Structure 1
Amino acid sequence: MSYKVSFLTRWSDFDPNNHLRHSAYNDYAAESRVRLFTKYGLSLKEFNKLHIGPVLFQEKTNFLKEIAMGEDIIVEVLLQGSSTEGERFKFLHNIYRSDGELSAQIEVFGAWMDLSKRKLTTPPPIIIEALKQMTKTDKFEIIPLPQHYPN
């Protein structure tokens, strides 16, 4: 079963056109990822203990239906891709209006960073296990790692 979070939207999430502002969608997607990892025992405190954190390379949002002032939302988080050792990841966030209509889709692509060395790294087993347990999209892909060239 996919991971879903319900949110009560806030007045500050809306723009002068009385619909959810573009950046609020991404804020709710990020909050959903934090909650999803917490479900797998990876709270922000635990990430700090492990000296690791996610870093995003790309964030792509497709807006499909308007979310009106005062409307609540549901965010679904799915794993869209991962490298074989979990070094890279892609998540898909489906954002639904309170009537169940798909309002937006957000794809994020990123990697794990060693917070001490400030370099990309392979995640520890607890993160790899969490990725394995996540619901995958129908378009799940194995992400190839970039080739490294000698200097």
Structure 2
Amino acid sequence: MSIVYEGHVIWAQVDANMHLRHSAYADFAAQARISMLDSLGLDVKAFQKLHLGPILFREELQYLREVGINDTVKIHSVLSKSRPDGSRWSIRHELYRGDGVKAAIIHVDGAWIDLFKRKLGALPEDLAQKFMTLPRAEDFVLEE
């Protein structure tokens, strides 16, 4: 099982070759993560109240097939690795074209940043527990 975000490729997201530009794949994955967190009650207002935000250490994109203008994309997102408290995590996004063909795989490694201290932080325990209920990849790794 995964959380699915659906979007539409618009003119501003294509390059001179008339296919989805490289950075737009990352933008779709970022929006999928924001939607994923929002489904847990971790929306922008919650992050502002907590003075926390997600931060990425690594983002890796594997391009498999072209995606064109006016195509619909579906991004399937799963938690692929996490510490038990959800303080450090990895998410895998698989981006599919409207015809069902897998077009990209996006891996990200991240954590939470305390926006006042500008240092790594953690979610409060109740929200960390919610975060750990995200759908997990079949090859999910729980890091100690």
The TM-score with structure 2 as length reference comes to 0.95
What residue number does 2:68 align with?
68
Conserved 8 A contact 1:80-1:91: yes
The number of aligned residues is: 144
What residue number does 1:87 align with?
87
Indicate yes or no: 2:112 matched with 1:97: no
What residue number does 2:36 align with?
36
Residue identity in the other structure for 1:109: D
Conserved 8 A contact 1:37-1:130: no
Q: Cα RMSD between the aligned structures?
A: 1.2
3-state SS of paired residue (1:35):
helix
1:12-55: CA deviations, max 9, x gaps? 10001111000000001001111111111111111010111111
Identity %: 37
3-state SS of paired residue (2:132):
helix
Residue identity in the other structure for 1:70: N
Matches within 5 A, 1:2-151: 2-144=2-144
Conserved 8 A contact 2:55-2:110: yes
Conserved 8 A contact 2:85-2:129: no
Residue identity in the other structure for 1:48: Q
Residue identity in the other structure for 1:50: L
Following superposition, which runs of at least 4 residues in structure 1 exceed 3 angstroms of deviation?
Answer: none
How many Å apart are 1:127 and its aligned residue? 3.1
Conserved 8 A contact 1:79-1:131: no
How many Å apart are 1:129 and its aligned residue? 2.0
Residue identity in the other structure for 1:44: V
Residue identity in the other structure for 1:12: A
The TM-score with structure 1 as length reference comes to 0.90
